[in-house]
Every structure is written in C-alpha cells, then in structure tokens.
C-alpha cells in the first residue's frame, strides 16, 4: 500500500471512529430517556442498567453505522478538497477514483463484517436485552404509598388521604381492598388512622390500623341465599396487617424465556421459520376455504357420471325452432314451493350468508396477523443483506459529495449528512411499515431505501470525477437542447 493510500485511510478511520463513538453515545442516551419510565422506581443498581445498555447497544448499529459512514466520508473528502489536497493529487495525475481505492476496499470489508455482525451479534443482543427488559418489568416498584390514589402492594390495594410524621409513616383515612387468590375484591377495610412499621432488612411490612371497620362479602352456597347479599361486618379499635414483600422482587433477571422473535434469529433460522410459517398459512387458508365451501351445501349434491349424456338428450327434446324453454333459474326454483316455505328458505339463506360473512370477517383478522408475522420475518431476513449494501451506497454518496462541496469539519458536512440520512431513514421506516401491513412486498420494503440512494451515488460520483457540481445545470440544459434538436431534425426528415 502506498503512502497516499495509508494517509487517506488514516484520515478516514480517524473521522469514522470519532463519529461512531459520538453517535453511539447520542443514541444510547436517547435509549436511556426512552426506557427511563420502565426502570424508574424499581430499585435497580447501575450494574443492571449498564448490562441492559451493553446488550441494547448492538441493536443501534442499524442506525449508527450508515450515518457514520456517510458523515465520515463527507468530512474526509471535504477536508481534502478544502485544504487543496485534492488539487495536489490531481496535479500529480491522481483521480478521485484512484484516491478512493483504499477506502473502497475498506468499506467492502466493512460491509462483509457488518453482515456477520447483523447475522450473529445483533440477534444475540436482541435476545439478551429483550429478556432482561421483560424481567425488569416484572419487578414491583419500590414501596411507596402516594396520597389520594390506590397503591398496589402485594395482595392489598391501599389508599390514604394524608401522610404525616417524621418519616411519613403515619396515615389518615385509610381504605384497603384485599384481593383473594381468584382476584376477587370482596374485602374492604376502613380506618381513621394507620401506621407503617418496617425495617430495610425485613421482608415484612407491618400496617397498624386504628379505629375502623371491616367489611366482607360472604359467598353464598345456594342461589336463594345469594339474593339476600350476605356479608360480615366488624368494628375494631386496632387491627394489624402483615404484608409479605419477599415475593415482590423475587425475579431472576438473567432468566431467558423468549427466544423465537424474528429479531433474535439469524439467516438460517429465519429461512426455516419463513418456510414453516408460509406452509402453515397455506394450510389455514385452504382449510378455511374448504370449510366455507362445505357450508354452502354444494357437497350434498352427488354428481351423476351420465349427466352430460342426459343433458344432451334433454336439450334435444326441448329445443324447438320457434321457442326455447328456459330452465334452472332461481325464480323458477323458488316458485315450486309454497309461500310459507319460500319465506323459510329465504330467511335461512339470509342467515346463512350473514353467518358466513361474520365467519370470514373474523378469520380475516387471523389471516392478516399470520401474514404480518410472515412479513416481519422476511423483512428481518433481507434487512441483514440490505444494511451492508446501504453502507457501501452511502459511502459513494458521501465521498463525492465531500469533494464537491469542499467543506470539512462538523459544520456543513454534518448538516448534509443528517439531511441525507434522515431521507434514507424515513424512506426505510415508511417502506417497512407498508411492507408489514402487506401494502408492498416485504423484500422491496427492506431494499427500497438503499435502492433510492443508488442513483444519487452514481450521479454524485460521476459529477465529482468530472469536476462538476452537485447538479450540473449546464449538462442538463445541453441535454435538453440536444433532445429538441433531434426532434426538429426528425420532423424535417
């Protein structure tokens, strides 16, 4: 490798590394802000939060890496053009394509590595982060009783009007609903005052109630006695309730129960699931179609093997030169029955159609759900191939664009990179949303954002190689003039 190639590669790697680290930190802070409501009040230590962010970070590469390639390429070649280093290269007979050669090799290797990263690392990171997040969500919030609202604490639902005292452990106007094992809420306790007694080392919360009443609905054994609404009522001066808190946070955060989401699968697993889901969907649709066909009652008619010969003979009998008798119409068929029987048949037909329509509408949602699940797997499969391709395409967008605008640093290149990336990102988001619903092909939805950037990369590379602007208006006007000249000459001929 020549010294110039090493220099260009060094400058690009410096911008690439710094941009990747900065952008990754920005997206991680965005993730913290996004998940802060789920983690707040759970008593989590920094180790668990750091572990979650570590598992979640690889899933951000889909967004960070394309933007990093685009930004670093614009910055690198913008600095070369701004410092007249490109002018020195061209004076030495080195073209833009020759200057990009070492970076093209690097971006090609990066694309291959990105595919293996998306196929192996990201699914595993999705698996760990999803299960850890799901286990964290099972944790109950740290014990806190807010005033004026009901607070779930174990099997009790507690509401207080006011908390007072040095540690807010004294309560006023307490209402407690005690839930049974079946989830019923048939016990109510009301007290004018209460006191919380617990220690940090204890798993038992002691709630002492003063001057209150106890109500309980008694479940009757006979329907006759249930009409009397039997219940039990008692008055107490002091009543103590012990709440077991040991089970509230007894959750294994390392336990992994979910491993078959489409984002957690590699290419071979996705291909297997796609084939299985596709075959299963066809069986469901065919079975449902056969079921609807049988409900029409057509299968009750037994076909006659000599039907064609009998039909021909019948036609020969009834067909005459002057008149043709019309047979088999619905009106003729229904008129064969009496009036009361006709009404029954029509009502039965209307009910049958209504029931069939309701069945189809209900099955339609299930089939749409199945198709959406299949589309998710297809999109996830092709996104693993589209991501490396998009990084390569965005490099060929950013490098010539930086050479054309002749600006380096974090100013104009950053603005252009963000605008181009947002265009790419929003096209990708909208296309995948349409593909999930089946409005467009899921394969097209995975590739369309990169394919939209492909013509732009070709145009910018050609313009930068020919020392033209971003949009060469002279060449555009010249092509329009040549088009009109050709049309004029064709008319004259």
DSSP 96-151: HHHHTHHHHHHHHHHHHHHHHIIIIIHHHHHHHHHHHHHHHHHSPPPS---BTS-E
Structure confidence at residue 116 (pLDDT)? 92
Closest CA to 430 of 415, 413, 449: 449
The region of weakest confidence among 3-7, 136-140, 362-366, 411-415 is: 136-140
Q: Any idea what the Cα angle at residue 231 is, between residues 228 and 234, rounded to 5°?
A: 145
Question: What is the spatial distance between Cα 266 and Cα 384, in angstroms, rounded to a whole number?
Answer: 9
- Kindly state the average pLDDT of the residues 242-250: 63
Last residue in a domain, options 244, 276, 293: 244
Count structural domains, the chain.
2
pLDDT at 272 over 80: yes
One domain for residues 216 and 268: no
Lookup: tokens for 224: 């006759």
Average confidence score pLDDT of the chain = 77
Answer whether residue 311 is part of any domain: no
One domain for residues 166 and 261: no
Question: What is the spatial distance between Cα 305 and Cα 297, in angstroms, rounded to a whole number?
Answer: 20
One domain for residues 110 and 230: no
One domain for residues 57 and 158: no
One domain for residues 164 and 292: no
Q: Any idea what the Cα angle at residue 34 is, between residues 46 and 256, rounded to 5°?
A: 60
Lookup: tokens for 219: 């479940």
> By the 8 A CB rule, do 71 and 417 touch?
yes
pLDDT at 341 over 80: no
One domain for residues 97 and 162: no
Q: Any idea what the Cα angle at residue 276 is, between residues 270 and 278, rounded to 5°?
A: 100
Answer whether residue 20 is part of any domain: yes
> By the 8 A CB rule, do 403 and 99 touch?
no
Structure confidence at residue 476 (pLDDT)? 47
> By the 8 A CB rule, do 447 and 441 touch?
no
Answer whether residue 77 is part of any domain: yes
Answer whether residue 69 is part of any domain: yes
Question: Which DSSP letter does residue 439 get?
Answer: S
pLDDT at 28 over 60: yes
pLDDT at 259 over 60: no
Helix (H, G, I), strand (E, B) or coil at 216: strand
Q: What's the domain range around 390?
A: 1-139+257-301+327-464
What is the pTM assigned to this prediction? 0.65
pLDDT at 76 over 70: yes
- Kindly state the average pLDDT of the residues 330-339: 69
- Packing angle between helix 101-116 and helix 61-82, nearest 10 degrees? 170
Lookup: tokens for 84: 């007249």
One domain for residues 187 and 281: no
The region of weakest confidence among 82-86, 140-144, 263-267, 271-275 is: 140-144
Structure confidence at residue 43 (pLDDT)? 60
Helix (H, G, I), strand (E, B) or coil at 183: coil
One domain for residues 277 and 173: no
Answer whether residue 297 is part of any domain: yes
Q: For 81-115, what is each residue's pLDDT tens digit?
A: 778 777 788 777 787 778 888 888 999 999 999 99
Answer whether residue 333 is part of any domain: yes
Q: For 115-130, what is each residue's pLDDT tens digit?
A: 999 999 988 888 888 8
pLDDT class for 144, splitting at 50, 70, 90?
A: low
pLDDT at 281 over 80: yes
Last residue in a domain, options 244, 268, 288: 244
Q: For 472-491, what is each residue's pLDDT tens digit?
A: 545 545 656 666 677 667 77
pLDDT at 322 over 50: no
- Kindly state the average pLDDT of the residues 432-442: 86
DSSP state string for 52-85: HHHHHGGGGHHHHHHHHHHHHHHHHHHHHHHTTH
- Kindly state the average pLDDT of the residues 282-295: 81
The region of weakest confidence among 54-68, 164-178, 399-413 is: 399-413
One domain for residues 15 and 77: yes
One domain for residues 347 and 428: yes
Answer whether residue 110 is part of any domain: yes
CB neighbours of residue 93 within 10 Å: 7
Answer whether residue 480 is part of any domain: no
Say which residue, 201 or 62, is predicted with more confidence: 62
Structure confidence at residue 113 (pLDDT)? 92
One domain for residues 174 and 112: no
One domain for residues 8 and 98: yes
Question: What is the spatial distance between Cα 59 and Cα 24, in angstroms, rounded to a whole number?
Answer: 11
Q: What percent of the chain has pLDDT over 70?
A: 73
Q: What percent of the chain has pLDDT over 90?
A: 7
Strands 231-244 and 204-217: antiparallel
pLDDT at 309 over 50: yes
Closest CA to 471 of 420, 377, 401, 411: 401
Contacts 24+ apart (CB under 8 A), 52-55: 52/129, 52/132, 52/133, 52/136, 53/28, 55/125, 55/128, 55/129, 55/132
Q: What are phi and psi of 39, to 5 degrees?
A: -95, -15
């Amino acid at each position: 490798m020549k010294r110039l190639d090493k220099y260009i590669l060094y400058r690009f790697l410096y911008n690439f590394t710094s941009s990747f680290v900065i952008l990754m930190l920005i997206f991680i802070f965005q993730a913290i802000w996004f998940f802060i409501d789920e983690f707040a009040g759970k008593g989590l230590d920094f180790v668990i939060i750091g572990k979650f962010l570590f598992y979640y970070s690889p899933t951000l590469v889909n967004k960070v890496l394309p933007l990093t390639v685009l930004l670093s390429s614009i910055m690198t070649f913008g600095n070369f053009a701004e410092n007249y280093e490109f002018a020195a290269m061209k004076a030495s007979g080195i073209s833009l394509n020759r200057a990009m050669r070492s970076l093209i090799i690097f971006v090609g290797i990066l694309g291959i590595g990105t595919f293996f990263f998306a196929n192996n690392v990201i699914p595993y990171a999705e698996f760990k982060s999803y299960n850890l997040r799901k286990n964290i969500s099972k944790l109950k919030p740290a014990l806190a009783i807010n005033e004026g609202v009901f607070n779930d604490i174990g099997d009790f639902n507690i509401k207080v009007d006011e908390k007072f005292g040095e540690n807010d452990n004294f309560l006023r106007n307490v209402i407690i609903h005690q839930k049974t094992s079946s989830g019923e809420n048939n016990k109510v306790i009301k007290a004018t005052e209460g006191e919380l007694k617990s220690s940090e080392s204890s798993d038992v919360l002691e709630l002492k109630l003063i001057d209150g009443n106890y109500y309980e609905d008694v479940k009757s054994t006979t329907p006759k006695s249930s009409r009397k609404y039997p219940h039990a009522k008692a008055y107490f001066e002091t009543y103590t309730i012990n709440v077991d808190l040991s089970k509230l946070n007894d959750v294994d955060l390392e336990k992994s129960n979910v491993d078959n989401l489409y984002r957690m699968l590699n290419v071979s697993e996705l291909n297997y699931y796609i084939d299985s889901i596709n075959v299963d969907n066809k069986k469901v649709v065919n079975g449902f179609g056969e079921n609807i066909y049988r409900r029409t009652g057509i299968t009750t008619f037994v076909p006659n093997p000599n039907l064609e010969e009998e039909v021909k003979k019948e036609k020969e009998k009834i067909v005459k030169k002057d008149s043709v008798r019309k047979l088999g119409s619905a009106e003729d068929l229904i008129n064969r029955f009496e009036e009361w029987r006709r009404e029954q048949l029509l009502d039965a037909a209307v009910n049958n159609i209504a029931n069939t329509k309701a069945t189809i509408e209900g099955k339609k949602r299930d089939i749409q759900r199945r198709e959406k699940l299949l589309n998710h797997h297809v999109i996830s499969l092709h996104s693993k191939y589209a991501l490396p391709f998009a990084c390569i395409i965005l490099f060929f967008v950013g490098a010539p664009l930086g050479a054309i605008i002749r600006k380096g640093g974090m100013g104009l290149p950053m603005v252009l990179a963000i605008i181009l990336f947002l265009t790419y990102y929003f096209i990708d988001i909208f296309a995948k949303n349409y593909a999930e619903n089946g409005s467009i092909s899921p394969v097209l939805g995975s590739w369309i954002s990169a394919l939209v950037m492909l013509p732009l990369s070709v145009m910018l590379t050609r313009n930068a190689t020919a020392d033209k602007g971003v949009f060469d208006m002279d060449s555009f006007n010249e092509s329009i003039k040549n088009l009109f000249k050709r049309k004029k000459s064709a008319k004259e001929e």
